Amino acid sequence: MQKVKEFFACKGIGFYFSLACLLAVVVGLGCFCSLVNVSQEATEAPATVIGLAVAAMVLCLAAAVYDFKRIFSLAAFVLVSFMFFNFIGGRVSYLAYYFSGDILGTGLSPYFIVSAIFFVISLICAICAVCFKQKN
């Protein structure tokens, strides 16, 4: 128990942002997988988004354990950015249809909204993980 206390005692704010980024990516990825299962049309490559999310999760965990000169947190930020913009880029036609009038009255998918929110949160947390120190 003493080692656990020592481990958390020396961690800085960036450590908690890395963990928050990891959690936000996990939740966003879960909603994204549900979105892909119920979607009729999507132009993104789900395998790309999932692969980038998994790689970002590994790098967030690596940054939380040992962030060597902020390389892991910076790489996690880059992957989270690519993941987010690949997700949004694949849904551009869906968003264009919704904002141009939504003639069928389908509305925005709750899975899309929740995954977009959590991907934005993960992007913000990844930025903060780079800006703040992982260790005190």
pTM of the model: 0.89
69-128 tens-digit pLDDT:
889 999 999 999 999 999 998 888 778 877 787 776 667 889 999 999 999 999 999 999
- Would you give the DSSP letter of residue 103? T
Please give the average per-residue pLDDT across 38-47, as a whole number.
Answer: 75
Tell me: pLDDT of 135 over 90.
no
Torsion of CA 54, 34, 88, 126, to 10 degrees: -40
Tell me: pLDDT of 41 over 80.
no
CA gap 109, 95 in Å, rounded:
10
pLDDT confidence tier of residue 40, bands split at 50, 70 and 90: low
28 burial via Cβ count (<10 Å: 0-12, 13-18, 19+): buried
Considering only residues 12 and 39, tell me which one the structure prediction assigns the higher pLDDT.
12
Q: CA-CA distances (angstroms) from residue 31 to 111, 114, 117?
A: 5, 7, 10
Mean pLDDT computed over every residue of the chain? 89
